[in-house]
Structure 1
Amino acid sequence: MSLSRLAPSTSRIGSILSLRSSHHAAVAAPAAVKPEDIDNPNFFQKVALRFKGIPLKGEAHAPKCMFDDVDKEWHAPAALPAMPKEFKEHADRDLVNFPYPERPMYPPQTRLFMMPNAWFTPFQKVTGTSGPYLFFGGLATFFVNKELWVFEEQGHMLCGWILFYLILSRSIGYKTDNWLYSEYQNRMAYFKGLIQEDLKEAVEFRKSSAVEAQSLNEIKAAFPVAIQLEATYRKNVQQVSQEIKRRVDFLVETEAAKERFEKDFLLKYITDGVVSQIESNQGGIRDAYLEDCIKELKSLAAKA
């Protein structure tokens, strides 16, 4: 028995290979799909796309990364209003030597995060750029060496606090400043709204007065003679009313003076008549008057 029968023939192997190759060609895997084109990407694909700033399928805009505002400097969209040059609270104020203080838009420039730039400028003009740093560095070293500036046990934590401040200011400083500015604008808008509400009546009155004045001017321009006659008539009526009032007041005062004079005269006449009768003792009126007085005194003494 020949072993050649057990060995596969080359034609059979070729046919098998050709069938396998054709099968693989028929069921070959599709081309690689990008993660942003997948309908439902998995968690890690979403994270990768978010860090790359690539929008997912169906998103119109790229996602906003949390690190987009890092290391940004905030600037106000509008500058503060300047003081008018011709404004004076008093005519004698000297604006040249004593100008009005203006609020700066931004804090003064600093170096090393806390040292004013004005400290470095005088040295820099003489020693160059490195002179101020060497001076302040040497001064700090001298203070530390001579123990004029003593560090505590926790002094090394100052570096950590500085690093913490830098991280916060560089990471959320821009967002914080932007939020504070928006809140400030909303607060100012609220107070302006209150002022507008308080002045609403005044504004409406001013508008109505302007309309009335305009209409009156138009009437004057259209009917000047009638307006003049009406004004003259009103003036004459006012004069007549004032004259009548003056005469009525005069009559009232005259009658009051007459009544007052008659009253005083009658009182004086009666008083003089009684006094004259008592002095002349006609009909024993004086004795009768004295007896009545004595009786009243006795009655009062008895009661006491």
Structure 2
Amino acid sequence: MALSRSVLRDLIGRQLAQQVRFAASAPATQPKKPEALSQETHARKHEGSVKKVEHEAMKVADPETPKVTSMFDEWGTVYVSPYTKNWKPMPKDFKEHPDRDLANFPHPEMKLRPDKVRLGFIPDKWFLAFYEKTGVTGPYLFGIGLWSFLISKEIVVLEEEMSHMPPLLFINYMVLRLFGHKVEGYYDEVIQNDQIGPLSAVRDQELTGVKQFRSYVDTANKAYDTLLEVLPEVRRENVALELEAVYRERVNQVYKETKRRVEYLVESESVKRRFEQQHMVNWIVDQVTKSFGPEQEKKIMSKCIGDLKTLAKSA
């Protein structure tokens, strides 16, 4: 929420007044020129108006002040919102994002205080518009002449009920001077609680989320930096482990292949030995069988049958 032009004008005026006071306190080495004198006079006038505004702003209704003895003790108290009195203007070097559309979506502005008025209800800027053409008395003469014209042409008719206007205006002025700051404070509190408060809560919640995300990003960046420091060593260790795994796998393959070949040789020798034994047995049996005659076969068969019978009886 941006500050109003009147508040910015007051801040700039205070800065100019400080510069003038500093220049006045410095030792004068050269006579001042007429232009400098006019600028200094203008600055002094502005300083006087600023001091008047500051003096009025100091008369703020404070709940901690002692109880007043009369309602007129608060006469002309100027209300300054506690929510906005410490606001600061936007920095001059602030730059918007290039994608921000300020033409269609400008910054919202809200006046912190109403504009200065004269006679209780006439804006001061209306009087300033007359000064360049008519001088200081011009707006007053214009108002009196306009009012006289309206009465003389009976555009404004003076009747008996018109006598009520001055008392009513006086009463309104008195109420405004005595109780205006209280009404402003009440509605300022209502606006703060009903409108600005919920929006501020949403803003604070969003800011809390942003801060948490920022802390998470910082933690992740620190972890990433730490990882970058140990990453080369980790990669070297991983490569060494991979080489060790490949070496062990190849050694295992060599072992299996050697074992397979040795088992093949052992099996080949075993088969060869069994074949030779079987061949030798068959050859001996054939030779022995060929050496037997028919009579020997009968004797052997009868002998075998007799042995079998003997074995059967003993069993």
- TM-score, normalised to structure 1, is 0.44
- TM-score, normalised to structure 2, is 0.42
Structure number with greater CO (CA < 8 Å, separation at least 6) is 2
